[in-house]
Amino acid sequence: MSTTHQQAYLAIEIKPADEAENERLLAVRQYVQAHAHQSDLRALAPYVRELMGEGYQVVCGRSHIWMKRKEDTERLAIIADRLATSYRDWYEPATPSGPRASIRTEESLPIPDQVMMPANSPQH
């Protein structure tokens, strides 16, 4: 039986409330970076709970761990698999969505307004 490994990372999704919370999150980030290769992220959860302390809810599944302040409804941070997700820290700009032009402009193709059917497809 082969085991699939995940590459764990921490994304802090909202701005830390204060310096103490920021330090806790940085400690979690360092721990996750030191233990990034996991087959099941649930193995990290007890250590994350310990690092975050009493004021936080830490919930986990096989491929994620999320944290929120106990008095808050918004997720504070998430630990996920870098190979399957792309969560960002709160201060990082959003990535553009949709088709983008090639960085090699000489190889760029125009993006058509309509979906083109292959020449050999039946017409309706």
User: Of the candidates 13, 23, 87, 19, which has an alpha carbon nearest to the alpha carbon of residue 52?
Assistant: 23
**pLDDT tens per residue, range 15-48:** 999 999 999 999 999 999 999 999 999 999 999 9
| Residue whose entry in the numeric block shows the structure tokens 């997720």 | 75
Given this model, what pLDDT does residue 1 score? 44
Given this model, what pLDDT does residue 84 score? 87
Given this model, what pLDDT does residue 88 score? 85
Distance CA 43, CA 16 (A): 25
Ramachandran angles phi, psi of 92, nearest 5°: -80, 140
Say yes or no to pLDDT of 122 above 50: yes
Q: Residues 69-88: what's their mean pLDDT? A: 91
- The token pair at 64 is 């994620």
Distance CA 50, CA 54 (A): 8
